[in-house]
């Protein structure tokens, strides 16, 4: 197993399925529904402690909050790395196209710039 930057992984197989899952999960976690679910989870945490329920309930709610936090951390890092790579690719393409234009020899860099600009549309 070779670890690659998320933006450089191929769209086939496990990497492609994970990328799609991460994208769907990222969309869900940025929704109002997920925010509502988090509020319910935090409210449950407060209620369990205020009512002094059994330690088992306190552990259950605490473990749920920990699991959600860990999942969000992984999704956030994945999204951050993809965005970072996409920005860098666009900057590289812009620089190459400007250099070609300045030297008066339009070529492949302009095509690469067009492809890079539309990168998100293909995903």
Question: What angle (nearest 5°) sits at the alpha carbon of residue 20, between those of residues 11 and 14?
Answer: 50
The C-alpha atoms of residue 120 and residue 67 are separated, in whole angstroms, by 30
What is the Cα–Cα distance from 49 to 55, expressed in whole angstroms?
A: 9
| Domain extents in the chain | 12-118
Phi, psi of 87 (to 5 degrees): -65, -45
pTM of the entire predicted model: 0.60
Q: How far apart are CA 14 and CA 2, in angstroms?
A: 12
- Give 47-76 pLDDT, tens digit per residue: 999 998 899 999 999 999 999 999 889 888
pLDDT in tens, 71-123: 889 888 888 888 888 888 888 888 888 888 777 776 787 777 777 777 655 55
């Amino acid at each position: 197993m070779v670890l690659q930057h998320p933006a450089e992984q191929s769209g086939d197989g496990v990497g492609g399925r994970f990328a799609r899952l991460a994208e769907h999960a990222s969309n869900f976690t940025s929704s109002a529904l997920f925010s509502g679910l988090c509020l319910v989870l935090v409210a449950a945490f407060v209620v369990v402690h205020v009512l002094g329920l059994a330690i088992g309930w306190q552990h259950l709610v605490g473990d749920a909050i920990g699991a959600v936090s860990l999942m969000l951390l992984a999704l956030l890092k994945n999204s951050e790395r993809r965005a970072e790579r996409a920005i860098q690719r666009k900057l590289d393409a812009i620089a190459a196209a400007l250099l070609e234009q300045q030297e008066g020899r339009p070529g492949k860099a302009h095509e690469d710039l067009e492809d890079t600009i539309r990168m998100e549309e293909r995903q």
